[in-house]
């Protein structure tokens, strides 16, 4: 087995890790929203955060194996703006995907956890439900944006304009 095959294998493993998040996230999110008991919501939120911990590892595997693929295929950084511009676009969309998955979504998860803690108190704030609905809408947008970005990345990979 030569370097390109090893690099491609790890790239597929990274893709599998990311797709695991893309499928598991909305399923756990749906469970979070359907649950009426605050403690069960907290449990679903905790599971969602735990699954989200896979994101940095999947991203690292994809970045390192992508660099390995570029080296094996003799693609230089300058090619990302020229003959391999499709790959440069792919990298740009991947960076946006990382920003959503590693910065925005965890921030929303922390805010939801704080609101759940407040809702679990004896005298919860009156606007907690509205704040939770707003954060749930944000999370839905993040999941939708993630799927759109991944579909664009896959299309760029398949059709290389």
Per-residue pLDDT tens digits for 102-138 = 888 889 989 998 998 888 888 888 888 899 999 999 9
5 vs 157: CA distance, rounded Å: 17
- Higher pLDDT residue, 135 or 161? 135
Q: Which long-range contacts (CB under 8 A, 24 or more apart) does 71-78 make?
A: 71/3, 72/3, 72/4, 72/7, 73/4
User: Does residue 146 carry a pLDDT above 90?
Assistant: yes
Residue 53: its pLDDT value, please?
83
| pLDDT number for residue 60 | 92
Q: 10-42 burial by CB neighbour count: b if 16+ within 10 A, else e?
A: bbeebbebbeebbeebbebbebbeeeeeeeebb
pLDDT at 17: 92
**Number of Cβ within a 10 Å radius of residue 76:** 11
Query: 19-74, pLDDT tens digit by residue?
Result: 998 999 999 999 888 988 888 888 888 898 888 888 889 999 999 999 999 998 89
Digit-coded pLDDT (tens) for 84-98: 899 999 999 999 999
119 contacts 38 by C-beta, under 8 angstroms = yes
How many angstroms from the chain centroid is the CA of residue 30? Answer: 16
């Amino acid at each position: 087995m030569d370097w390109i095959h090893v690099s491609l294998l790890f790239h597929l493993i990274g893709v599998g890790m990311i797709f695991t998040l893309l499928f598991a996230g909305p399923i756990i999110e749906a469970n979070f929203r359907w649950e009426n008991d605050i403690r069960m919501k907290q449990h679903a939120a905790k599971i969602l955060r735990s699954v989200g911990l896979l994101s940095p590892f999947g991203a690292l595997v994809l970045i390192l194996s992508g660099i390995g693929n570029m080296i094996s295929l003799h693609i230089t950084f300058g090619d990302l703006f020229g003959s391999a511009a499709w790959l440069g676009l792919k990298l740009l969309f991947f960076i946006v995907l990382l920003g959503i998955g590693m910065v925005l979504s965890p921030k929303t998860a922390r805010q939801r956890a704080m609101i759940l803690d407040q809702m679990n108190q004896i005298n919860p704030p009156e606007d907690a439900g509205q704040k939770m609905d707003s954060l749930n809408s944000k999370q839905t947008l993040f999941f939708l944006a993630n799927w759109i970005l991944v579909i664009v990345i896959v299309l760029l990979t398949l059709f290389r304009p």
